A = this chain, B = another copy of it.
Amino acid sequence: MLIRIDPGSDQPIYLQIAKSIETQIEGGALRAGERLPSARSLSASLGINMHTVLKAYAELQDRSLVEMRRGRGGVVVSETTGIDVMARELVGTAKRRGMTQDEVQRLIWDAWR
Contacts and interface: CB of A to CB of B under 8 A. Distances in A.
Majority SS at the chain A contact face:
helix
Q: Which bracket fits the contact residues of A?
A: 20 to 34
B87 A107 contact: yes
A90 B86 contact: yes
Interface string A81-109: 01110111111011011010100110111
What is the copy number of this chain in the assembly? Answer: 2
Given A79-B97, A96-B26, A97-B79, A90 B111 contact: yes
Contacts of A109: 101
Contacts of A93: 63, 82-83, 86
Contact of A88 (B62, B88, B111): B111
